[in-house]
């Protein structure tokens, strides 16, 4: 509770009410446990801890070392790997530090195109990664929305990248880690997997672990499906790369880690090691498939015709004759938080694209199951058929609030 700053207290209170009364359908968001939030708001935020356990630059590190070692050991156990760096402040710094560790400036990376579902840090032109390193992009088949691995191999053989980056920000199907590895090996490239969106599924065995297929490095965020604090994580099984990664994170790219966040990661990793978390991740996928199927039954064009994870991407332009910007705004006015998103073969601006991206991780945390997500599909359909009707939007917002009241926030 904020005691002496009423303006800030009011902001915090209003955000809590917003989260309580709205359906969080943004694929990159989730709700943390009260234990994670307690660590984030703890006295550890006072401590500066440049360096690594046993090799700090400041005194008074007995308990910060314990916190970081705990997070490292739990991360290694969770992802069945030999090395983990838990210091990255988020996913983008984790990706950048990994590229710094593996490549020299001017070398070439090959990642998924942003407009086809990749991430900015995968070599997209607006990202600094495309300034430091040369970049070539691969995409998905315009008809199926899936990666054509024969085409990917042709691009790799022609461009000869030094590193192939497999991962996505808006793709609803599983990646074939084995094929990525085979293609990279055939040209002598490093393999890097960004599993930020699917880390929870990888940790619980719902989806395959790239490290099991010989990937050199895996990066991830610790929120999204992993349901921890906002932060990053780097994993590998190669001792020679682990030293380079540590150096790239600190002193190469970051200063002191946020130790309150590191302890919060340790708590989240422990939560993810419990049997209940596996049950949760299974339900997240079931819910996403239910949502996709129900929208499809309502005539909505689903990209890739379904999902293997928590992401459902649909074409609102073809389905409702409105752009993503207007669709996102109408849904928000009705109490449904989503995000506008580009789709394969995008013809519009990324500021007003053709698609909407949905995710099921957050509302599954609040107890939603298949029945609730069938209702979510109906509500989305009603909103986007009446995007400028304030009476319809207000009625749906009240219905959303009533449903949310039955499924309180975790804390």
Where in the sequence numbering do the catalytic residues fall?
A: 48, 50, 194, 221, 224, 230
How many Å is the Cα radius of gyration of the chain? Answer: 21
Cis-peptide into 251, omega within 30 deg? yes
Closest CA to 208 of 228, 225, 187, 193: 193
Nearest to 64 by CA among 273, 269, 268, 257: 257
Cβ atoms 180, 191 nearer than 8 A: yes
Question: What is the 3 state secondary structure string of 254-287?
Answer: CCCCCHHHHHHHHHHHHHHCCHHHHHHHHHHHHH
Element housing 27 (H / E): none
- Residue 302 host element (H or E): strand 301-302
Alpha-carbon distance 312 to 284, whole Å?
A: 12
Cβ atoms within 10 A of the Cβ of 364, count? Answer: 27
Q: How far apart are CA 406 and CA 112, in angstroms?
A: 40
Q: How far is CA 343 from CA 188, 313, 324, 330, 332, in A?
A: 31, 8, 10, 19, 20
**Alpha helical stretches, state H, 4-61:** 6-21, 34-40
Residue 211 CA to its chain's centroid (Å): 18
């Amino acid at each position: 509770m904020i005691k002496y700053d009423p303006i800030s207290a009011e902001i915090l209170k209003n955000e809590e009410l917003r989260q309580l009364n709205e359906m969080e359908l943004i694929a990159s968001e989730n709700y943390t446990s009260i234990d994670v939030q307690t660590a984030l708001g703890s006295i550890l935020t006072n401590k500066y801890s440049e360096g690594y356990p046993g090799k700090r630059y400041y005194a008074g590190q007995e308990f910060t070392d314990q916190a970081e070692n705990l997070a490292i050991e739990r991360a290694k156990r969770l992802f069945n790997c030999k090395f983990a760096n838990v210091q990255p402040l988020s996913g983008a710094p984790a990706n950048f530090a990994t590229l710094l560790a593996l490549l020299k400036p001017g070398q070439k990376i090959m990642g998924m195109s942003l407009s086809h579902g990749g991430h900015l840090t995968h070599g997209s032109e607006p990202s600094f990664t495309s300034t430091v390193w040369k970049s070539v992009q691969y995409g998905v088949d315009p008809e199926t929305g899936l990666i054509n691995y024969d085409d990917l191999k042709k691009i790799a053989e022609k461009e000869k990248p030094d590193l192939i980056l497999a991962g996505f920000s808006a793709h609803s199907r599983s990646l074939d880690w084995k094929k990525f590895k085979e293609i990279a090996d055939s040209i002598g490239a490093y393999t890097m997997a960004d599993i930020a969106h699917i880390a929870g599924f990888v940790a619980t065995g719902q989806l395959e672990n790239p490290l099991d297929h010989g990937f050199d490095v895996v990066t991830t965020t610790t929120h999204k499906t992993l349901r921890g604090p906002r932060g990053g994580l780097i994993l590998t099984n190669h001792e020679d790369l682990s030293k380079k990664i540590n150096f790239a994170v600190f002193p190469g790219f970051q200063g002191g880690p946020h130790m309150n966040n590191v302890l919060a990661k340790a708590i989240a990793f422990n939560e993810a090691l419990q049997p209940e978390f596996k049950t949760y991740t299974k339900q997240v996928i079931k819910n996403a498939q239910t949502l996709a199927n129900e929208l499809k039954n309502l005539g909505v064009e689903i990209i890739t015709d379904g999902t293997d994870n928590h992401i459902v991407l649909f074409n609102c332009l073809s389905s409702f004759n409105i752009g993503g910007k207007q669709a996102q705004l109408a849904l928000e006015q009705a109490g449904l938080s989503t995000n506008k998103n580009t789709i394969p073969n995008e013809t519009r601006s990324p500021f007003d694209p053709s698609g909407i991206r949905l995710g099921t991780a957050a509302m599954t945390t609040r107890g939603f199951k298949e029945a609730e997500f069938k209702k979510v599909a109906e509500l989305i359909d009603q909103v986007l058929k009446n995007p400028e009707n304030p009476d319809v939007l207000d009625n749906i917002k009240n219905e959303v609030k009533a449903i949310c009241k039955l499924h309180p926030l975790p804390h």
